[in-house]
């Protein structure tokens, strides 16, 4: 309710100040002897910005600090011994008062002091809300007054609005960067805490993964060798690529070079549907259909294949990645200039000779970039592996046996009761950091290669 | 078999160094087109083109942009096949073989009819590999020495060998525009074609490179049937013995180059040559 009122009032302020700026500059423009630097619309926008932004700042500050102010106000209303309560009990007491004030009621009979505090609090809430609104309105009006006094033929309103636009756009892109940075920093700090328990050498080069689940502080912390998980990740990614790269690439070649437009218009969206299937669905497809199929097929030829294995997870993940490879390669092959293709066909090369000898070599750097991007997806993939790889973090080289990956181990360490002080859960951050570093490296490599390819024909 | 026999006959003929312009009328006909029409989807691009193209001479197609001259050129080696929605009607005969005969192998046709494109389009491979590409595909060389020989002689015929002999392993794209275009000509020659189609081969080149290519075309006509599409009437006058004028998808006039430029029969041709349309 309050938020709605604030939004409505801000909107009114916005419209009003825009109108003021616009009409005032129109009046100036009507006077033929003066030539305005900027069109009235810019004066309107500038006036609106000057009025609304300060008002929003006031409301923003209130939103940030009102919680603390309110709480200390409530504590002040309650008997003095309340302040001596523990943090948790204090919170509970404050929540009781708030609940009574809002009329929702509380468990048990409210005490007399509580009722009084609630009444005072309710009126305080109204007054403070109105006060903030008044402050915002005053600041907004001040801003508007100042802005409309500035309006004159020489005011470079257009330039100033342009600066505002640039700052706003910059702020938006900063959000993405700051978020990434924050994630990396929090990963890093928690990973460092983990390394205060476990020697980094034991983590990066250990060959045993056995994080015994014990309550923190009882001595034995378990073993945290990364290698079995890393190997599982690498093996499953390799299997996935062995499935996805040939099939994806071939279908891209078919669609871009052989298929006529009608076929392309039907087949391309269907292939891309594969990319839209949730990975959990792939996961149980692997668990219920593909795994048992491989086990039965292995039985038939006398090979021992486990239903949940690196093979199952890798093959299904490969199917998931096919559309990724095929649509990227399709774009890249289409970027090879038509003149290359015509030159080869004009010499009497067949279509497949042209593809093999001219198109693919020319597109190769781009295709390598696409494959690296796909690899970093495979490395980060979780749901399929959780369900289909067998969750057995042991260093094994046979793809037909169960394995586990870095992502699966993160899931295992963080689901259930995690208290974030023991190495058992902190290890997840070290794993996450490793994963992040790997995919970052692959992405940087891929982008570098793709960019190099682009320069070739421009 | 027929194709190889044709080639031997072709190269064994004595070459006349100075060709009287009017001799073109007495040349055998290598290519003959009758009532050729082309549709791109619903749009008709060519309306009943009939023309004979003489052996071992340069025939030029002139006309304003969009008049269909390139479209017709691309019919001759069936490059229009690669454009979706293009339909070709009528007949084109190369030494009596119907180019659009369903039994005819397009690959073999394109080995007999080479093509040079508007923009130099060397493959992103070495100079050597660019020229060796065609012979390798068609299995023309039995050994590495054979292949070397074909590459060197093709580069020689294209007048490029002296300039690139020390850097055959450098990428073809490192050459200048004019050199790249001569590399593309060498690439076409290496397959041993009878006919070479050139689609505005000098439009992306500077005047000096253009002069070198024109000289080369003049030399090549001693051994090949050359068809060139050009925007430049001066070029058509300089290099060709026969000229055909296209306008709005129709062949307006064709004949000995000198006649077309000095004494055009049709008003449209005259207007174009005088620079009034186009």
B115 touches chain A (CB under 8 A): yes
Q: Which helix H or strand E contains A70, and what residues bound it?
A: helix A40-77
Q: Which CATH architecture has domain B28-126+195-273?
A: 3-Layer(aba) Sandwich (3.40)
User: Rounded to whole angstroms, what are the CA distances from A69 to A63, A80, A87, A137, A227?
Assistant: 11, 17, 16, 21, 52
Asked casually if ipTM beats, i.e. exceeds, 0.90, the reply is: no
**pLDDT on residue B52:** 93
Instruction: Give yes or no: residues A283 and A402 share one domain.
Output: yes
pLDDT in tens, A352-375: 999 999 888 888 888 888 898 899
Q: Please state, in angstroms and rounded to a whole number, the distance separating the CA atoms of residues B25 and B257.
A: 11
* A318 — pLDDT class (breaks 50, 70, 90): very high
Residue in the structure block whose two tokens are 């290496």? B190
Q: Which helix H or strand E contains B197, and what residues bound it?
A: strand B195-199
**pLDDT on residue A106:** 72
Instruction: Give yes or no: residues A42 and A128 share one domain.
Output: yes
CB B35 within 8 A of CB B85: no
pLDDT tens for chain B, residues 1 to 278? 444 443 333 333 333 445 565 566 677 888 999 999 999 989 999 999 999 999 999 999 999 988 999 999 999 999 988 888 889 999 999 998 999 998 889 999 999 999 999 999 999 889 999 999 999 999 998 999 999 999 999 999 999 999 999 999 998 888 999 999 999 999 999 999 999 999 999 988 899 999 999 999 999 999 999 999 998 888 999 999 999 999 999 999 999 999 999 989 999 898 898 887 65
pLDDT in tens, A2-22: 788 888 988 999 999 999 888
**pLDDT on residue B21:** 57
**pLDDT on residue A456:** 56
Residue A199 in any domain: the answer is no
User: Rounded to whole angstroms, what are the CA distances from B261 to B26, B242, B258?
Assistant: 20, 11, 5
The sign of the torsion formed by the CA atoms of B218, B220, B222, B224 equals: negative
Taking CA–CA distances from B193, the nearest residue in chain A reads A347
pLDDT in tens, A250-269: 999 999 888 888 898 999 88
A147-156, A206-215, A410-419: the lowest-pLDDT one = A206-215
CB B189 within 8 A of CB B158: yes
**Which of A164-173, A194-203, B99-108, B230-239 tops mean pLDDT?**
A164-173
Residue in the structure block whose two tokens are 């810019």? A42
pLDDT at residue A124 above 90? no
Instruction: Kindly give the pairing relationship between strand B58-62 and strand B242-247.
Output: parallel
Q: Please state, in angstroms and rounded to a whole number, the distance separating the CA atoms of residues B203 and B209.
A: 10
Identify which of A310, A440, A354 has the alpha carbon closest to the alpha carbon of residue B107: A354
Average pLDDT over residues A310-334: 92
Q: Please state, in angstroms and rounded to a whole number, the distance separating the CA atoms of residues A433 and A189.
A: 10
Contacts of A346 in chain B (CB under 8 A): 77, 79, 110, 114-115, 117, 188
Contacts of B106 in chain A (CB under 8 A): 348
Average pLDDT over residues A380-406: 89
Per the structure, the complete domain to which residue A333 belongs is given by 223-457
Q: What is the CATH number for A242?
A: 1.10.3720.10
B59 touches chain A (CB under 8 A): no
Q: Please state, in angstroms and rounded to a whole number, the distance separating the CA atoms of residues A316 and A296.
A: 17
**pLDDT on residue B8:** 36
Q: How many domains does chain A have?
A: 2
Residue A338 in any domain: the answer is yes
User: Rounded to whole angstroms, what are the CA distances from B53 to A277, A443, B128?
Assistant: 60, 57, 32
**pLDDT on residue B16:** 42
| pLDDT, chain A, mean | 86
Q: Please state, in angstroms and rounded to a whole number, the distance separating the CA atoms of residues A390 and A283.
A: 12
CB A333 within 8 A of CB A254: no
Contacts of B76 in chain A (CB under 8 A): none
**pLDDT on residue B134:** 93
- Please indicate whether, in this complex, the C-beta atoms of B109 and A348 are within 8 angstroms of each other: yes
Calculate the CA A186 to chain-centre distance.
15
**pLDDT on residue B13:** 35
When CB atoms are compared, the residue of B108, B124, B137 closest to A347 is: B137
Residue B220 half-sphere exposure, CB side, CA atoms within 13 Å? 35
- Please indicate whether, in this complex, the C-beta atoms of B123 and A348 are within 8 angstroms of each other: no
CB B77 within 8 A of CB B33: no
Average pLDDT over residues A288-315: 91
B133 touches chain A (CB under 8 A): yes
**pLDDT on residue A116:** 83
Contacts of A342 in chain B (CB under 8 A): 79, 82, 115, 117, 121
A134-138, A418-422, B224-228: the lowest-pLDDT one = A418-422
**pLDDT on residue B124:** 86
Instruction: Give yes or no: residues A124 and A263 share one domain.
Output: no
Give the number of other CB atoms < 10 A from CB of residue A135: 15
Per cent of chain A over pLDDT 70 is 95
A123-132, A448-457, B118-127, B236-245: the lowest-pLDDT one = A448-457
**pLDDT on residue B22:** 57
Residues of A with CB under 8 A from a CB of B: 260-261, 337, 339-350, 353, 357-358, 361-362, 456
- Picking from A155, A186, A211, the residue at the C-terminal end of a domain is A155
B79 touches chain A (CB under 8 A): yes
- Please indicate whether, in this complex, the C-beta atoms of B110 and A347 are within 8 angstroms of each other: yes
Nearest CA to CA, how far is B123 from chain A (Å)?
A: 6
- Picking from A155, A182, A203, the residue at the C-terminal end of a domain is A155
CB B7 within 8 A of CB B194: yes
Contacts of A349 in chain B (CB under 8 A): 107, 133-134, 137
Report residue A161 as tokens: 């609005």
B84 touches chain A (CB under 8 A): yes
When CB atoms are compared, the residue of A340, A347, A362 closest to B191 is: A347
């Amino acid at each position: 309710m309050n938020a709605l009122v604030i939004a409505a009032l801000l909107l009114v302020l916005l419209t009003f100040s825009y109108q003021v700026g616009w009409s005032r500059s129109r009046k100036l423009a009507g006077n033929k002897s003066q030539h305005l630097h900027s069109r009235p619309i810019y004066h309107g926008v500038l006036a609106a910005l000057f009025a609304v932004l300060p008002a929003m700042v006031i409301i923003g500050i209130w939103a940030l600090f009102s919680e603390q102010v309110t709480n200390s106000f409530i504590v002040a209303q309650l008997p003095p011994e309340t302040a001596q309560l523990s943090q948790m009990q204090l919170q509970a007491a404050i929540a009781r008062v708030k609940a009574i004030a809002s009329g929702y009621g509380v468990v048990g009979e409210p005490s007399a002091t509580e009722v009084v505090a609630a009444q005072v609090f309710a009126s305080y809430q109204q007054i403070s809300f109105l006060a903030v609104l008044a402050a915002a309105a005053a600041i907004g009006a001040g801003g508007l007054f100042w802005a409309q006094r500035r309006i004159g033929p020489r005011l470079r309103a257009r330039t100033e609005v342009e600066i505002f636009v640039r700052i706003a756009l910059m702020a938006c892109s900063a959000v993405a960067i700051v978020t990434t940075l924050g994630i990396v920093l929090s990963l890093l700090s928690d990973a460092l805490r983990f390394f205060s328990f476990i020697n980094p050498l034991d983590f990066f080069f250990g060959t045993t993964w056995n994080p015994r689940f014990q309550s923190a502080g009882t001595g034995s912390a378990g073993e945290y060798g990364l290698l079995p998980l890393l190997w599982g990740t690498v093996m499953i990614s390799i299997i996935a690529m062995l499935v996805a790269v040939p099939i994806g690439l071939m279908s891209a070649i078919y669609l871009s070079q052989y298929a006529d437009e009608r076929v392309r218009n039907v087949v391309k969206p269907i292939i891309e549907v594969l990319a839209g299937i949730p990975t959990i669905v792939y996961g149980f497809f692997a668990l219920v259909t593909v795994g048992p199929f491989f086990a039965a097929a292995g039985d038939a030829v006398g090979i021992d294949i486990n239903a949940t294995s690196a093979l199952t997870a890798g093959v299904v993940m490969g199917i998931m990645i096919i559309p990724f490879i095929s649509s990227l390669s399709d774009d890249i092959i289409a970027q090879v200039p038509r003149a290359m293709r015509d030159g080869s066909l004009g010499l009497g090369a067949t279509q497949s000779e042209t593809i093999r000898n001219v198109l693919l070599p020319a597109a190769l750097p781009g295709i390598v970039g696409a494959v690296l991007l796909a690899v970093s997806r495979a490395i980060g993939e979780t749901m399929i592996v959780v369900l289909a790889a067998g969750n057995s973090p042991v260093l094994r080289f046979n793809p037909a046996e169960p394995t586990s990956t870095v992502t699966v181990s993160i899931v295992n360490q963080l689901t259930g009761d995690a208290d974030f002080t023991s190495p058992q859960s902190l290890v997840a951050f070290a794993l996450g950091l490793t994963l992040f570093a790997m995919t970052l490296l692959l992405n940087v490599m891929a982008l570098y290669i793709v960019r190099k390819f682009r320069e070739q024909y421009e | 078999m027929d194709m190889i026999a044709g080639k031997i006959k072709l190269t064994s003929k004595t070459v006349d160094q100075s060709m009287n312009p009017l001799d073109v009328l007495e040349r055998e006909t290598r290519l003959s087109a009758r009532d050729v029409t082309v549709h791109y989807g619903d749009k008709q691009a060519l309306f009943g083109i009939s023309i004979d193209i003489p052996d071992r001479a340069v025939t030029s197609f002139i006309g304003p942009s969009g008049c269909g001259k390139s479209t017709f050129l691309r019919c001759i080696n069936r490059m229009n096949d690669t454009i979706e929605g293009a339909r070709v009607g009528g007949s084109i005969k190369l030494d009596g073989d119907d180019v659009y005969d369903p039994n005819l192998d397009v690959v073999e046709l394109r080995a007999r009819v080479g093509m040079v494109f508007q923009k130099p389009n060397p493959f992103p491979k070495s100079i050597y590999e660019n020229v060796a590409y065609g012979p390798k595909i068609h299995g023309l060389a039995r050994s590495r020495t054979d292949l070397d020989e074909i590459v060197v002689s093709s580069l020689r015929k294209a007048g490029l060998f002296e300039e690139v002999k020390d850097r055959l392993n450098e990428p073809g794209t490192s050459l200048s525009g004019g050199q790249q275009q001569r590399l593309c000509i060498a690439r076409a020659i290496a397959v041993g074609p009878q006919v070479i189609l050139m689609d505005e081969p000098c439009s992306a080149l500077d005047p000096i490179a253009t002069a070198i290519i024109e000289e080369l075309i003049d030399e090549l006509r001693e051994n090949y049937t050359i068809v060139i599409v050009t925007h430049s009437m001066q070029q058509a006058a300089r290099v060709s013995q026969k000229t055909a004028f296209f306008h709005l998808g129709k062949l307006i006039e064709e004949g000995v180059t000198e006649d077309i430029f000095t004494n055009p029969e049709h008003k449209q041709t005259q207007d174009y040559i005088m620079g009034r349309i186009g």
